[in-house]
Chain A
Amino acid sequence: MAKLSFPIGPQHPALKEPENLRFSVDGELVVDADIRIGYVHRSIERSCSERNFVQDLYLCERVCGICSNAHTLCYAMAVEKLADVEVPVRAQYIRMLMHEFERIHSHMLWLGVAGHEVGFESLFMYVWRDREVIQDILETVSGNRGHYAMTTLGGVRHDITPEMETKIREGILYLRERAEYYAEIVTTEATFLKRVSEVGVISGERAQELGAMGPTLRASGPDYDVRTYFPYLQYDQINFSVRTSQLCDVLGRTLVRVEEVIDACDICLQVLDKMPEGEIQERFPRKVPEGEAVARVEAQRGELIYYIRANDSDVPQRVKIRTPTLANLPASLEIVSGGYIADIPIAFASIDPCFSCTDRMVVLDDVGTGDSRTMTWPELVEISRNR
């Protein structure tokens, strides 16, 4: 039978973000997949080398709306390494707390979406209702439900007060209990299992070879987690295990994420127990000495890496960002290949893709009419300057 090729997108089959997928199908089976990204390219890396180090912190936060804290954290870690500034221990614990809060909210968001994709709407509603608890905690601590702006160069911007701590403990204990309930649901509910078990399979060896990161990689066996490989902040003081699964399918990825929510709750409680008193900010110089630094953090979707080169001024010469979704893309194409057309949304969503992150960098595409119009770089610069 002749192979048929069809496009999906630029609206994502599962999440509300733009990219264009092309599938070759043989009957109901997907035999090949290709992806076209760049619809939300915003030139962030270039813009970073035109702004000073403090302004870049706010720019990097806007690379992604879901993992915004991981971006500022990674950026700040790289700049602090260059400027040789030691962050106060209390600030490091608060950063960890925010890092884990974000992991909880992001994994719960994903679990809800996964429930929606497989037609399990009550899971979606339950999970998203419970996710409000962590959103309230985030708002209590930072003042915002998204783009928390907690990290600053040399520390964090807000301290944790005893009242906050009480509220955090209450919320986290509730969430832990709920996460355990969801772990039970996703492993026992037949309607869910039938849609995710042995769907979107990729072997551990292949996932590692293709550079997959985070839960996508760990659900196939390898245990690469930046928190244990390169313990940053105070992760070496905390007891936690890296969650892996040998299932290699969407169920494996779901389990790894749900278990990571339980772990993140435990980490938060440990952090609150161990957090010492003290300063939360260290003075930070305006100029950063010449040099280059690489920083990695384990964002919820996988390893996030920043490369920054400074040249003894207040503006970085180069900021390079590699987000986890870009690392997971080659693997994701393999994940959907070999499966059924009906499984495309959940299989593709199982890497928890985020295209704002991936594109980062500028195109005006009139999707409605199919016309695409490209602006030249000088034109764009002109527009941005005249705003």
Chain B
Amino acid sequence: MIEVTAAELLQQVQSEYEGELTGADAPSETDAWIGIPPSDVQSMAQFIVDTWQPVYLSTITGNDRRDPIDVIYHFVVEGVSLNVRASVPKAVDQIDSITRIVPAAIMYEREVAEMFGITMVGHPDPRRLVLPEDWPEGDYPLRRDDSGDEEDGQDNG
């Protein structure tokens, strides 16, 4: 089912996408990784939706690497797994919502927001997803600093 290889897809991104790329890597035929500044996430989502059809958004992964917090968007386009990484510094702590461009992101963005305390700017439905309504404000289960549980997480990485 390979329509294009990951390397070809990356070339297309590099030549057609006008914004800045902070990284581009194709570790296998079907895996492509690109990095973008967090402020460009909407323009990247728009670029992906405009360039390829259909676009599947598999999920959005949040990962607290002490600082920054990685927000990784796992797309499937043209038979390639396209992973877009935006690293959000804790001093910024917010990223634009892509739900209006990619409606599939709605639940995934709510999950990242409640687990890591990243504000999704412009999200149409910014409620919590799985945490209860009376969960304390400012307590983020997967965040590894004062607002999460420091002693319990691992310190490496």
Q: Is B19 an interface residue (CB 8 A)?
A: no
Are B58 and A303 in contact, CB atoms less than 8 angstroms apart?
A: yes
Q: How far is the CB of A84 from chain B (nearest CB, A)?
A: 11
List of A residues within 8 angstroms of B156 by Cβ = 311, 313, 317
Report how many A-B pairs have Cβ atoms within 8 Å: 115
B: residues with CB less than 8 A from A are: 1, 30-31, 54, 56-59, 61-63, 65, 72, 74, 76, 79, 81, 83, 103-108, 128-132, 134-136, 139, 141-142, 148-149, 152-154, 156-157
Residues A46 and B103 in contact, CB atoms below 8 Å apart: no
Contacting pair A228 B1 (CB below 8 A): yes
Q: Name the contact of B130 in the complex, choosing from A37, A211, A296 (C-beta under 8 A).
A: A37
- 9 A-B pairs whose Cβ atoms sit less than 8 Å apart in the complex: A211-B104, A230-B1, A303-B56, A326-B59, A359-B130, A372-B132, A372-B134, A377-B149, A378-B149
Decide: A229 and B130 in contact? CB cutoff 8 A.
Answer: no
User: For the complex, what is the distance from the CA of A323 to the CA of B30, rounded to whole Å?
Assistant: 21
Contact of A309 among B83, B128, B157 (CB under 8 A): B157
Q: How long is the Cα–Cα vector from A309 to B149 in the complex, in angstroms?
A: 20
Q: Which of B57, B130, B136, B156 has the most CB of A within 10 A?
A: B130
Of the candidates B56, B81, B131, the one whose C-beta lies within 8 Å of that of A38 is: B131
A296–B1 CA distance with the chains assembled, in angstroms: 15
Task: Name which residue of chain A comes closest to B148, CB basis.
Answer: A377
Measured between beta carbons, the chain A residues less than 8 angstroms from B57 are 211
Q: Which residues of B contact A315 (CB under 8 A)?
A: 154
Q: How far apart are the CA atoms of A326 and B81 in the complex, in Å?
A: 19
Given known A-B contacts A50-B154, A377-B149, A320 and B132 have beta carbons under 8 A apart: no
Please name all residues of chain A whose beta carbon is closer than 8 Å to the beta carbon of B130 when the two chains form the complex. 37-38, 41, 358-361
B56 touches A294 (CB 8 A): no
- A231 touches which one: B1, B83, B106 (CB < 8 A)? B1
Q: A32 to chain B: closest CB distance in Å?
A: 12
Chain A interface mostly: mixed
In the complex, are the beta carbons of B104 and A330 less than 8 A apart?
Answer: yes
List the A side residues contacting B152 at CB < 8 Å: 50, 377, 381
Q: In the complex, A211 Cα to B154 Cα: how many Å?
A: 33
Contacting pair B72 A307 (CB below 8 A):
yes
Instruction: Give, as a whole number of angstroms, the nearest-CB distance from B87 to chain A.
Output: 13
Q: A322-B108, A330-B104, A374-B135 are in contact. List 12 more A-B contacts (CB 8 A).
A: A45-B142, A49-B153, A229-B76, A309-B63, A311-B156, A315-B154, A318-B61, A322-B58, A330-B107, A359-B130, A377-B139, A378-B149
Chain B: interface secondary structure? loop
Q: Which residue of A lies closest to B139 (CB)?
A: A377
List the A side residues contacting B132 at CB < 8 Å. Answer: 38, 363, 365, 372, 374
Q: For chain A residues 258-283, which have a beta carbon within 8 Å of chain B? A: none
**Residues of A with C-beta under 8 A to B149:** 377-378, 381
Q: Are A327 and B131 in contact (CB under 8 A)?
A: no
User: Closest Cβ of chain B: how far from A222's Cβ, in Å?
Assistant: 6
Q: Pick the contact of A37 from B129, B142, B153 — CB < 8 Å?
A: B129
For B103, B106, B142, B157, the residue with the greatest tally of chain A CB atoms inside 10 Å of its CB is B157
CA distance A363 to B128 in the complex (A): 13
Instruction: Give the residues in chain B near A43, CB-CB below 8 Å.
Output: 141
A163: CB under 8 A from chain B? no
Q: Are A46 and B141 in contact (CB under 8 A)?
A: yes
Q: Does A127 contact B (CB under 8 A)?
A: no
Minimum CB–CB distance from A106 to chain B (whole Å) comes to: 20
Please give, as numbers and ranges, the residues of chain A lying within 8 Å of B129 by CB-CB distance. Answer: 37-38
CA distance A242 to B149 in the complex (A): 45
Q: Are B58 and A296 in contact (CB under 8 A)?
A: yes
